[in-house]
Amino acid sequence: MTRTSLTRRFALTVLLLCCLGVAGATDNATEKKLSAWEAKEHVGEFATVCGEVVTAHYASTTNGEPTFLNLDKPYPEQIFTVVIWGSDRSKFGKPEEEYKGKHICASGKITAYAGLPEIVAKDPKQIKLQ
């Protein structure tokens, strides 16, 4: 290779790495951090929702074996829920014990079930202790 082609290749590599860095920074910067109370106004958006896990329940006999982590208000008056389906549960250990009584932040797409906002956590990296 000539010196000119090496210089061009180096410049393109640097440009590509810079673009990737900006894209990553933009994704993190635009993600919203919300309280459990605010989540209902952001259904359909990707965000991080924070609150205290006041009730946690593993519904082992229910279809899909979900684990429910209710933030800031207990079931049946919950205002926001983090759902971990049975198919992903082994990745989390015993989330109903791990997170109960703790302040967490859950990241993902906010959806609604029966009019209540929730995030489905498929990976433990989506939930951070605060």
CATH of 32-129, one of 3.20.20.150, 3.40.50.10130, 2.40.50.140, 3.30.450.20: 2.40.50.140
pTM over 0.85: no
Predicted confidence (pLDDT) at residue 103 exceeds the cutoff of 80: yes
- Per-residue pLDDT, 31: 75
- Per-residue pLDDT, 123: 98
Cα–Cα distance for residue pair 127/130, rounded to 1 Å = 10
- Per-residue pLDDT, 30: 55
Q: For residue 64, how many C-alpha atoms fall within 13 Å in the half-sphere facing its CB?
A: 7
Cα end-to-end distance, the chain, whole Å: 53
Enumerate the domain spans of the chain: 1-30, 32-129
- DSSP letter assigned to residue 57: E
Predicted confidence (pLDDT) at residue 98 exceeds the cutoff of 90: yes
Task: Report pLDDT digits (tens) over 49-91.
Answer: 999 999 999 999 999 999 999 999 999 999 999 999 999 999 9
